[in-house]
Amino acid sequence: MDVSVIIVNYNTIELTRNCLISVFEQTKDIDFEVIVSDNGSTDGSIEMIKNEFPNVVLIENKANLGFGAANNRGLKIAKGKYIFYLNSDTVLLNNAVKMFFDYWENAENKELIGALGAWLLKDNQVIHSFGDFPTCRNIFGTFFRAIRSSLFGNLKKYRKTVKKNNNPDDFKTKEIYGYITGADLFVRNDPSAIFDERYFMYFEESDLQFNNFFRKGLKRIILTEPKIVHFEGGSDKKTYKYDFKKMSAIFYWRSCLLYFRKNFPKEKLFLYTLKFLVRLIYLFPQNISNSKKMKDFCEV
């Protein structure tokens, strides 16, 4: 088999339905399978998949394992030569799966490729498709923007398009320095595709590509031919890291601590400072503060 498409679903029945429809309608002339790893959905997703997409391989996890762990469950049974990790809040506009496959198979020095991705679209504009690996500087910048957002409201949108009023055709295939977003990550089916399951959500794709590709000198390449719409935040209902009152902020900063402790253990001063700053989240009223103590949360 050429490609295994792995989709994680958690209570996103309509998004997942549209994603699956697009995969089966657009993917042609390639041997592929679709695996949906469901994290204990209660919105009828499982019944919908069984009834409307009987050829989908469905994994029922019975609980919300997190993004990386759910993908790993799909990876364990995947038969494809390549793995295409695809978010449930995406829609394929063309034969993207085959385009990824053909590019890799026909590339010179294809053994030096670690991962492929695409310029993601929304409202016919290119949006967040890749990013730099986290650094001390940009993490502190994110933290203080979160402080401002939590104190004074969302003063502006921090997730910008790559360029306003852009034409997607202007964005060409290129090698990037950092990581490809986990919304559309095309990789080999081998141990390098395994996520660290300590990350519940956020930073898992950065960590995987930093350790398994960047440190090994393998390329991350963004292709212009595949057309994929990403309804950014559709699977987490726009509860981004910039609002400390949201559950997603807890997962974001916990994963942030884990990322730096794992990959930069010698940066003691930075780690202690970051841990102190994250504990400041306790100053903000949260519905979950009683169920997840920040003291325990910081010990990752």
Per-residue pLDDT, averaged over 73-97, amounts to 98
Whether 238 has a pLDDT exceeding 70, the answer reads: no
Q: Supply the pLDDT for residue 242.
A: 46
> Alpha-carbon distance 24 to 47, whole Å?
18
For residue 274 the two structure tokens come to 């970051």
Say which residue, 239 or 107, is predicted with more confidence.
107
Closest among 239, 238, 241 to 147, alpha carbons compared: 241
- Integer Cα distance of 283 and 52 in angstroms: 47
More confident residue, 281 or 61: 61
- Residue 82 scores a pLDDT above 80: yes
3, 70 Cβ separation under 8 angstroms: no
Q: For residue 274, what pLDDT band results from cuts at 50, 70 and 90?
A: confident
Answer yes or no: are the C-beta atoms of 180 and 129 closer than 8 Å. Answer: yes
Residue labelled with tokens 């498409």: 5
Per-residue pLDDT for 158 more than 80? no
User: What residues form DSSP beta bridges with 38?
Assistant: 9, 60
Q: Which of 139-143, 146-150, 165-169, 277-281 shows the lowest per-residue confidence on average (mean pLDDT)?
A: 165-169
- The pLDDT score that the predictor gives to residue 232 is 75
Rounded to whole angstroms, the Cα distance separating 167 from 122 reads 12
pLDDT grade, residue 275 (50/70/90)?
A: confident
pLDDT of amino acid 241: 46
Answer yes or no: is pLDDT of 23 > 80. yes
User: And the tokens for 1?
Assistant: 């088999």
- Location of structure tokens 């103590």: 293
Among the residues of the chain, which ranges form H helices?
Answer: 13-26, 45-52, 67-77, 96-106, 136-152, 204-212, 247-263, 268-279, 294-298
Mean pLDDT of the chain: 84
Over range 277-287, report the average pLDDT. 57
Q: For residues 17 and 52, is the Cβ–Cβ distance under 8 A?
A: yes
